[in-house]
Amino acid sequence: MTLALSHFNAAILFATFASIVFGITQRDAMREQLRYGLYCFVMFVGGVFVAGWVMWLLRR
Amino acid sequence: MVNSSAGKRPSADTAARPAQLHSGGMIPVVAPAVGWLIPGAGHLIQKRWGRGILLMVSIVTMFILGVLMDGRIYRPNGGDILDILGFVGDVGAGGLYIVSLARGLGLEPIARATADYGSKFVIVAGLLNFISVADAYHIAIGKKP
């Protein structure tokens, strides 16, 4: 069985799992863990969009 | 230069810390070892159920997704520096890496973009497990609640 994810889906899954681990391991209190995990997720996904637009501009 | 901490009495928190750091017997050794072998288990044996299950699900799922995407699993090697670093990342997944080696997974050459993503998923799952192991150790020595 081979899984063929799109680049975007792979990036979202990557961001989700990495953010969960970062949130749990880098902060102590549960509320801080949740906030930091969400922050990491937004940064990962935001970085994907920024990189996408930069590549689009470079290609023009 | 004046030392600002001179003359200050230790707070209750800092006074209690040395006692915490050496408590737990073999746990500071066992928790990281078990956590490396089975992702999240280092937290579970210290009764951090929620954290342990979330870490286990995240790292194991990421590793399995990488394998399903036909990601490459690096064997011990002394060749290209990127291959050596790939092996170091992969070996962080512990038991998952050992099982995948035993079953001969991830041997095919990378032929598609998604297979390259898969290789990165496997490497990052191992690296995230290294962070998880360090966290389990910090909990064991009382540095983290």
Q: Where are the domains of chain B?
A: 26-140
Distance CA A15, CA A12 (A): 5
Establish whether this prediction's ipTM goes over 0.85: yes
Question: Which A residues, 30 through 59, put their C-beta within 8 Å of a C-beta on chain B?
Answer: none
Report pTM.
0.86
Q: Which chain B residues have any C-beta within 8 angstroms of a chain A C-beta?
A: 51, 54-55, 58-59, 61-62, 65, 68-70, 112-114, 117-118, 120-121, 124-125, 128, 131-132, 134-135, 144-145
Whether B42 and B24 have beta carbons less than 8 Å apart is answered as no
Whether B127 and B92 have beta carbons less than 8 Å apart is answered as yes
**Residue B106: which pLDDT band, with cuts at 50, 70 and 90?**
confident
The tens digit of pLDDT for each residue in B42-65 reads 999 999 999 999 999 999 999 999
